[in-house]
Amino acid sequence: QPTRLSDYRPPAHLIETLDLALDLRDDWTTVRATLRGRRNPAAGQGAAPIVLDGEAQELVSVTLDGERLGPNEYALEADRLTLPERDGAFELVVESRIRPQDNSALEGLYLSNGMYCTQCEAEGFRRITYFPDRPDVMAVYSVRLEADAARFPVLLSNGNPVEQGEAGAGRRYAVWHDPFPKPSYLFAAVAGDLACVEDRFVTRSGREVALRIYVEHGNEPRTGHAMDSLKRAMRWDEEVFGLEYDLDLFMIVAVSHFNMGAMENKGLNVFNSKLLLADAATATDADLQRVEAVVAHEYFHNWTGNRVTCRDWFQLSLKEGLTVFRDQQFSADMHSHGVKRVGDVRLLRSVQFAEDAGPTAHPVRPDSYIEINNFYTPTVYEKGAEVVRMIHTLLGPAGFRRGMDLYFERHDGQAVTCEDFVAAMEDANGADLSSFRLWYQQAGTPTLEADWSQDLSARSLTLRLRQSVPPTPGQPLKRPMPLPVRAALLGKAGGTVAPERVLLLDGAEASFTFEEVGEPAVPSLLRGFSAPVRLEAAWSEDDLAFLAGADDDPFGRWEALQTLATRSLLRMAEALRAGGAATLDQRIVSAFRASLADARLEPAFKAELLTLPGETLLGQASETWQVDAVHEARELARRTLGEALRDGWRQAYQALAGEEGALDTEAMGRRAFKNAALAYWVAAGDEAAVAAALAQARPDGRMTDVVAALAALSDLERPDAEAALQAFHDRWLDDPLVLDKWFALKATASRPDTLATVEALRRHPRFDRRNPNRVRALIGSFTTGNPVRFHAADGSGYAFLAQEVLALDKLNPQVAARLTQPLVRWRRFDEGRRQRMLEALRRIADEPGLSRDVFEIVSKGLA
């Protein structure tokens, strides 16, 4: 049943043009597709049957080369239509009907708040019409949309508008033409009553591009940030990669019901409204930065994804890993390289390392899948971006650019593989990346061990590096992979003793000697997190405390303090579990004190430094995740730091509390720092801190501050804190994106009654299982953002999740499968929890009629 990379065959027929007419009516949508194609010379000689993908639709008629086919002249199965053989060129007209109004899976054509929209990646197009729905079939599309003129005045598709007008009986039509051949997954159509915000961009070669953002009426004021972000992204791609936009029109549509973040359809991006609509009153600074990053990401896909696309879905990281890397570089350039890298690594570790260590581990280029939607994963995206970043590190920025230029020169207009990308990087630089290809093939996070010895009399320091790659499902034995390790030596008395070098560990182990090292030094290793590995370095805690204050690499400095804190917090958890007392290592208090007072640090970076590793990361750092002890230890540490540095937090907070908020990077950074200080000050238990938080939580403040204050208050079981949350709810009840924040705050409170609250909130009048954002806000936040309550020892959280997965699977398998993920990580826990997680998985597995999506996840979880 799985689809395998090794089974790839070129398509038997190519389709050159597709004329698609969608007649949108309340009872049915009729789809008429005219395909002009021919036998693919690369697929073999002689005639072959024409095979089209298609599901969830009613076939009306098939006309091949002018002849209407009778039912015994074709074979219709649940997921495909097989037509007579063709050798040369052919013309095919297929008519079918679909019911978008019943489509709760949100794949293909569906209705979102009364507007028609599409999501075709990966295999949604086959729910719209019969077609070879695979990315290596690229056609030129002409699309005619027709709908009721009053309710759907805006009719959009890819490319350029050609024609529009009255269609009689109160109906309107519009015709669009996209001159760029594209795979079906990049098709999009939208019909609705939408407001349009317009701007323009002049490319560096002087082409004027109209930029249009379409939103529901009333949301126009929330589009400014996305529009500005788009223009910055367009400029950046010209400056850094020499890539210009290629049509006269670029459109973005915001929809409220969307399975993922956003989609890069050619010339017509479709966005989850959560990742587009953002202003200071309704979005946090983190939301604003996320919007900027995703707008850029989807825009960047125009070259890395659309102009050069994937041959098959095993190559997904070809476009996703590369485009994530590009959006990371863009955000770093717009804001701060150090802060961005810390955030990216935090995400990588908390989600991708966890995936790599569990039963759904897979290579960046997977070998097989049951449901491709399950492979839009942190491994394909985030680890994929790390793999591209390592190439960038190995070749340097100029070499990387040469590789990109050659990649486009060779493959513009083609559907290619990850191998083609690596080959372009190699050939443009005369480099040998043969062993580097293992990064695409082997799953699992390598462990990198490092130790060193210094010989003062010989003025040298020798660093020894060793790696091992753990077994993962289906891959018991691994080969060592090339690891670029950026390293420098710092003098214990200050200064850099040996400047940064990129050491390449291209084997199981190697030694590197630094010469002319005349004073005691500490190595700064894996600077900038130059490879996605678990580093086990022989740093003493004094070394770490030293690096936490002295490393000139921002990532290294943050990492040193995180490592020190992780060690101490795990010792505390162990002591608490054994029934003893626990205290936070004094070195951490000192490091926090020094960082808090360090005026040279940028505030956003300070906020990162002063954040303790989260419970999920701490859980992953030990053999067995001791859920309750880890939670208690972290809370105790936060209290300890709150009390020990009480005046520092208060002063830092008060110094910034009155500041007028702007939207620039520095102002955002100061707010992050201020709100970190507020959280510690509240943790110290000061009544004045609670009063400050209550004042800041007033619902008409700027959203960053309100949410931060509510988060600091949400654990306190006291009436004024509860009233603050309620006031927020009442103020924003009719604003879905903000109300989602309230659902998430309720779901992530660590107070003991949270599961009961979450269960009850499923009956809240605004809870709606058909809206993925709402489901993620309430259920997803609870299962991934509240470990101590979700992993309650009695298994109540697991039983709750199983119930939700089953309810959701009937509506939206893709989102249901994602929701299931936390249950498959049962090996990380103690025996009691393991059994209860397995019970929940079995309960899901036993359900008759389970979707392919959820089936794949639970069967891997139970294997």
CB of 419 to ligand ARG, least distance (A): 21
Which residue's CB is nearer to Zn ion, number 323 or number 771?
Answer: 323
Euclidean distance between CA atoms 741 and 367, whole angstroms: 38
| The one catalytic residue among 121, 298, 320, 804 | 298
Which residue's CB is nearer to ligand ARG, number 189 or number 682?
Answer: 189
| Residues 351, 353, 355, 358, CA torsion sign | negative
CB of 360 to ligand ARG, least distance (A): 15
**Three-point CA angle 444, 559, 582, nearest 5°:** 100
- The interface partner of residue 122, options being Zn ion, ligand ARG, none and the CB cut-off 5 to 8 Å by kind, is ligand ARG
Which residue's CB is nearer to Zn ion, number 106 or number 497?
Answer: 106
In the chain, count H helices and then E strands: 29, 31
Region from 239-247, 319-327, 561-569, 699-707 binding Zn ion, contact rule CB under 5 A: 319-327
CB of 198 to ligand ARG, least distance (A): 24
What is the helix, strand, coil percentage profile of the chain, to 5? 45, 25, 30
Which residue's CB is nearer to ligand ARG, number 152 or number 381?
Answer: 381
Q: 399-405: which pairs have CB atoms within 8 A and are 24 or more residues apart?
A: 399/425, 399/428, 399/429, 399/431, 400/425, 401/240, 401/241, 401/242, 402/428, 402/429, 403/428, 403/429, 404/241, 405/242
- Determine which residue in the list 51, 249, 260, 799 makes contact with ligand ARG, applying CB under 6 A: 260
Residue 101 CA neighbour count, 13 Å, CB half:
9
Tell me which DSSP letter residue 275 carries: G
**Three-point CA angle 437, 439, 444, nearest 5°:** 150
Site string (355-394) toward ligand ARG, x via CB under 6 A:
------------------x--x------------------
- The interface partner of residue 382, options being ligand ARG, Zn ion, none and the CB cut-off 5 to 8 Å by kind, is none
Parallel, antiparallel or unpaired: strands 509-515 and 309-310:
unpaired
User: Element (H or E) spanning 629, and its range?
Assistant: helix 627-644
CB of 323 to ligand ARG, least distance (A): 7
Please tell me whether residue 214 binds ligand ARG under the rule CB under 6 A.
no
Region from 322-330, 391-399, 646-654, 665-673 binding Zn ion, contact rule CB under 5 A: 322-330
Please tell me whether residue 133 binds ligand ARG under the rule CB under 6 A.
no
Parallel, antiparallel or unpaired: strands 13-24 and 139-148:
parallel
CB of 320 to ligand ARG, least distance (A): 6
Instruction: Tell me, yes or no, if 298 is annotated catalytic.
Output: yes
Whether a cis peptide bond, with omega within 30° of 0, leads into 332 is: no
Please say whether the beta carbons of 361 and 858 come within 8 A: no
CB of 120 to ligand ARG, least distance (A): 9
- By CB under 6 A, the residues from 797 to 856 that bind ligand ARG are 814
Region from 119-127, 532-540, 777-785, 846-854 binding ligand ARG, contact rule CB under 6 A: 119-127
Region from 260-268, 515-523, 607-615, 789-797 binding ligand ARG, contact rule CB under 6 A: 260-268
Site string (215-254) toward ligand ARG, x via CB under 6 A:
----------------------------------------
Which residue's CB is nearer to ligand ARG, number 376 or number 439?
Answer: 376
Which residue's CB is nearer to Zn ion, number 146 or number 320?
Answer: 320
- The interface partner of residue 640, options being ligand ARG, Zn ion, none and the CB cut-off 5 to 8 Å by kind, is none
CB of 545 to Zn ion, least distance (A): 40
- Residue type at 712 in one-letter notation: A
Using DSSP, state whether 665 is helix, strand or coil.
Answer: helix
CB of 260 to Zn ion, least distance (A): 9
Sequence-separated (6 or more) residues with CB below 8 Å from residue 458 = none
Residue with tokens 């398509």: 11
- Determine which residue in the list 96, 259, 595, 754 makes contact with ligand ARG, applying CB under 6 A: 259
Closest C-alpha to 291, from 228, 345, 248, 238: 228
Neighbours of 629 (CB within 10 A): 21
Residue with tokens 């389709």: 15
Region from 70-78, 235-243, 258-266, 620-628 binding ligand ARG, contact rule CB under 6 A: 258-266
CB of 336 to Zn ion, least distance (A): 23
Please tell me whether residue 149 binds ligand ARG under the rule CB under 6 A.
no
- Determine which residue in the list 136, 237, 264, 856 makes contact with ligand ARG, applying CB under 6 A: 264
Query: What is the per-residue burial (b if ≥16 Cβ within 10 Å, else e) of 415-447?
Result: bbbbebbbbbbbebbebebeebbebbbbbbbbe
Tell me which DSSP letter residue 851 carries: -
Tokens of 218: 């009333």
- The interface partner of residue 714, options being ligand ARG, Zn ion, none and the CB cut-off 5 to 8 Å by kind, is none
- The interface partner of residue 820, options being ligand ARG, Zn ion, none and the CB cut-off 5 to 8 Å by kind, is none
- The interface partner of residue 374, options being ligand ARG, Zn ion, none and the CB cut-off 5 to 8 Å by kind, is none
Which residue's CB is nearer to Zn ion, number 340 or number 833?
Answer: 340
- The interface partner of residue 260, options being ligand ARG, Zn ion, none and the CB cut-off 5 to 8 Å by kind, is ligand ARG
Parallel, antiparallel or unpaired: strands 262-263 and 521-525:
unpaired
Which residue's CB is nearer to Zn ion, number 96 or number 317?
Answer: 317
- The interface partner of residue 543, options being ligand ARG, Zn ion, none and the CB cut-off 5 to 8 Å by kind, is none
Which residue's CB is nearer to ligand ARG, number 696 or number 812?
Answer: 812
CB of 602 to ligand ARG, least distance (A): 30
Which residue's CB is nearer to Zn ion, number 386 or number 426?
Answer: 386
Closest C-alpha to 79, from 849, 694, 710, 852: 852
Please say whether the beta carbons of 406 and 424 come within 8 A: yes
Region from 22-30, 31-39, 323-331, 371-379 binding Zn ion, contact rule CB under 5 A: 323-331
Please tell me whether residue 122 binds ligand ARG under the rule CB under 6 A.
yes
Burial class (CB in 10 A: 0-12, 13-18, 19+), 239: exposed
How many residues bind to ligand ARG according to rule CB under 6 A?
Answer: 14
Euclidean distance between CA atoms 553 and 172, whole angstroms: 60
Please say whether the beta carbons of 782 and 754 come within 8 A: yes
Please tell me whether residue 121 binds ligand ARG under the rule CB under 6 A.
yes
- By CB under 5 A, the residues from 629 to 688 that bind Zn ion are none
Euclidean distance between CA atoms 560 and 540, whole angstroms: 11
Region from 313-321, 349-357, 671-679, 757-765 binding Zn ion, contact rule CB under 5 A: 313-321
Region from 114-122, 442-450, 579-587, 722-730 binding ligand ARG, contact rule CB under 6 A: 114-122
Euclidean distance between CA atoms 628 and 622, whole angstroms: 14
- The interface partner of residue 373, options being ligand ARG, Zn ion, none and the CB cut-off 5 to 8 Å by kind, is ligand ARG
Distances (CA, A) of 656 to 527, 612, 659, 660: 32, 22, 5, 9
Site string (285-324) toward ligand ARG, x via CB under 6 A:
------------xx---------------------x----
Euclidean distance between CA atoms 273 and 257, whole angstroms: 8
CB of 303 to Zn ion, least distance (A): 12
Closest C-alpha to 103, from 90, 91, 93, 117: 117
Euclidean distance between CA atoms 581 and 513, whole angstroms: 44
Catalytic residues: 298
Which residues of the shown chain bind Zn ion in the complex (CB under 5 A)? 320, 323
Which residues of the shown chain bind ligand ARG in the complex (CB under 6 A)? 119, 121-122, 259-260, 262-264, 297-298, 320, 373, 376, 814
